[in-house]
Amino acid sequence: MAQIIEGTRIRDQILAETRERVERLKSSHRAPGLAVILVGDDPASQIYVRNKIKTCEQLGIRSEKLTPAAAISTEELVGLVEELNRRPDIDGILVQMPLPAGIEAKRVLEAIAPEKDVDGLHPVNIGNLVSNRPGLRPCTPLGIIEILKRSGVAIAGSRAVVVGRSDLVGKPAAFLLLHEHATVTICHSRTRDLAGVCREADILVAAMGKPALITADYIKPGATVIDVGINRVADRSQAEAIFAGWPEKLRDFDQKGSLLVGDVHPVDVAEKAGLYTPVPGGVGPLTIAMLMSNTLDAAERRLLGC
């Protein structure tokens, strides 16, 4: 039976380490400063931002939330970002996605100064990632590497397969694994014999956004499986197909009307993998932790020159 990797435990380790670093920085300079821009009133975005602000408070990071109306223009939003770029007390800038229709998200994200881009998505930071130069890295892929290292998984020399080629997770995760000396293959919807390629992986990262796509046929016995997917299943027949033989999950479904499912089949991975991250409770908790770590990194580079 596979061993579950508890993302919450690793998150708590990282947050405790970050809190200590924040205290040291405050004693010699000042608290790191994070500005979060939340445009409009999307309920999910409001929850995400609230959780980020709460974590800042717990760590001693000074946060500032800006809430322009959904009717703001691209030019006005870019102007707001540029004002934050100029402020010496702001070390990190985060624009909560998605932005309302009509706003050019690419222009807004590229307006963020690379040294304040705590999401790690500015083209300069992506270039630094590809060339393995110092810079801010995307939070979820960075969390994947922390999960692997803190779980004692040997990355160097391992065969890693990343299923998914998004700019947010798949591509940066592949480069981070490559820089840790894994041999990396990136797969996607047009990969021939996807199951066969995945079965070669010592480390399998699933980031396709397809519920329970990765079944037993995709998993090498004893592999480490990192499930990045978060999919809400609201169809009873689909839930039955995924959780056959797991009556307590189906009872949860009947109570809630839906269930969160990763990109990896939860029953198959438990039977075939060596280590795996569950959904929920696996990779998800690391994203905010790495955002906090990135904010502190940005502050230390600006204040300490390191």
Give the residue numbers annotated as catalytic, written as ranges: 52, 96, 119
Contact of 170 with 154, CB cutoff 8 Å: no
Q: What angle do CA 164, 224, 221 make, to 5 degrees?
A: 105
Phi, psi of 287 (to 5 degrees): -65, -50
State the amino acid at position 252 in one-letter form.
D
Task: Using alpha carbons, list the distances in angstroms from residue 164 to 116, 120, 175, 207.
Answer: 27, 18, 13, 5
Q: For residues 24 and 18, what is the distance between their CA atoms, to the nearest angstrom? A: 10
